[in-house]
């Protein structure tokens, strides 16, 4: 129980597999004590194209603070445009990728945290394994 405060400019873990053109900062996730959701802060330049992916058992909410772009929903063959002030809901198992048409700043929330998404990054996967091993040792 309690309250925690983390800073997006100091207290984060960098997600690297998404691509070097993304400044993808994971602020809260199981390793930092959030077991029910994962919160990320993401910045990207115009023309940046996200990796196609899905979240097996997580809903993802994307709060668009700045910029414009669109989300490609692969299986439905649709493009959903978004802009500043929009909140996007991506349902579990929806194969998608994001294309930025203007420089972008978003906050993304996955609930619950998508361990498969995290495990695509070697460093985050190792940190998650260490966290889970430590947590299981207390049971």
* Cα 85-111-48 angle, rounded to 5 deg: 50
pLDDT value, residue 135: 83
Q: What tokens does 103 get? A: 């420089």
Are 117 and 57 within 8 A, CB to CB? no
Alpha helix positions (H), the chain: 115-119, 122-137
Tell me the average pLDDT across 7-24.
Answer: 90
CA distances to 57, 121, 122 from 131, rounded to whole Å, are 20, 15, 14
d(CA 124, CA 103): 26
What fold, for 13-137?
Answer: Jelly Rolls (2.60.120)
Are 31 and 42 within 8 A, CB to CB? no
pTM of the shown model: 0.90
Give pLDDT tens digits for 96-134: 999 999 999 999 999 999 999 899 999 999 999 999 998
Domain spans in the chain, listed from the N-terminal domain onward: 13-137
Q: Which residues fall within 8 angstroms of residue 137, CB to CB, at 6 or more apart?
A: none
End-to-end, the C-alpha distance of the chain in Å comes to 18
Give pLDDT tens digits for 55-96: 999 999 999 999 999 999 999 999 999 999 999 999 999 999
Per-residue pLDDT for 138 more than 80? no
Q: What's the length of the chain?
A: 139
Residue 123 phi, psi dihedral angles, 5° rounding = -65, -45
As a whole number of Å, the CA-based R_g of the chain is: 15
């Amino acid at each position: 129980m309690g309250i925690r405060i983390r800073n997006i400019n100091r207290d984060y873990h960098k997600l690297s597999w998404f691509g070097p053109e993304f400044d993808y900062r994971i602020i809260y996730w199981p390793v930092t004590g959030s077991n029910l959701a994962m919160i990320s802060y993401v910045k990207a330049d115009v023309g940046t194209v996200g990796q196609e992916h899905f979240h097996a058992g997580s809903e993802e909410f994307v709060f668009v603070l700045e910029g414009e772009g669109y989300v490609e929903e692969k299986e439905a063959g649709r493009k959903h445009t978004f802009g500043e002030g929009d909140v996007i809901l991506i349902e579990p198992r929806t194969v998608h990728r994001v294309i930025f048409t203007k420089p972008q700043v978003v906050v993304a929330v996955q609930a619950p945290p998508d361990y498969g998404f995290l495990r695509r990054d070697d460093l985050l996967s190792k940190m998650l394994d260490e966290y889970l091993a430590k947590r299981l040792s207390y049971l």
